[in-house]
């Protein structure tokens, strides 16, 4: 049985390219990756300031990379650790599917339904003009909400399955916002690997 699937779905959107592989990683291997990454990752719980108020981010994070470049977002600076064995394997398969070479992965751990990520775009200057973001989901399924900045009728959601791969490319980070919203449902943890390419400034 193949560990990585070729089945994919194209989502037709204005000002964006979105490609979804619902069963990119087989369930047994996705279970294994979830357990290993959850156990081996040195999770951070950073403070974040929004509208002058500082509080703990509603999720845990970690950064791994090959370039040694720090990553900045929301006044947080993260410094990468070297890629682990499992992250290298996943990165290689993601690069094959996306035809993009990545040098960094930002990992998020959503511990339960109270953990979230608010409306945002991955448009930091370190990512370049039209970045390709490749997102692996492991663990609990969570809805991925995305909306166009100007076209109010363009609001969508996609349930990100355990072992799935979502690739965002084109102008998406200029014209769209996305989030993982809070939920009152009792749900288990989810790990999200977002592969990126940091460039020289």
Q: What is the pLDDT of residues 36-84, one digit of tens each?
A: 999 999 999 998 877 778 889 999 999 999 988 889 887 789 999 999 9
- Structure confidence at residue 201 (pLDDT): 52
Which pLDDT belongs to residue 10?
83
Distance CA 117, CA 59 (A): 8
104, pLDDT greater than 90:
yes
Lay out the sheet containing 176-180: strands in order across.
117-120, 176-180, 142-148, 155-160
What confidence category does residue 8 fall into, taking pLDDT thresholds of 50, 70 and 90? confident
């Amino acid at each position: 049985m193949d560990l990585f699937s070729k089945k994919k779905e194209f989502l037709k959107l204005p000002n964006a390219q979105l490609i979804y592989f619902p069963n990119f990683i087989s369930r047994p291997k996705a279970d294994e990756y979830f357990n290993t990454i959850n156990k081996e990752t040195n999770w951070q719980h950073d403070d974040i300031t929004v509208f002058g108020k500082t509080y703990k981010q509603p999720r845990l994070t970690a950064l791994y990379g090959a370039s040694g470049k720090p990553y900045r977002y929301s006044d947080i600076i993260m410094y990468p650790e070297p890629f682990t064995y499992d992250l290298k394997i996943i990165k290689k398969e993601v690069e094959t599917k996306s035809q993009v070479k990545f040098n960094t992965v930002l990992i998020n751990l959503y511990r339960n339904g109270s953990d979230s990520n608010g409306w945002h775009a991955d448009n930091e200057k370190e990512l370049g003009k039209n970045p390709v973001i490749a997102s692996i989901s492991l663990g609990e399924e969570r809805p991925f909400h995305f909306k166009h900045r100007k076209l109010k009728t363009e609001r969508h959601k996609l349930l990100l399955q355990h072992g799935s791969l979502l690739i965002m490319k084109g102008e998406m980070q200029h014209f769209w916002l996305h989030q993982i919203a809070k939920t009152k449902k009792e749900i288990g943890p989810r790990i999200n690997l977002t592969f990126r390419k940091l460039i020289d400034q």
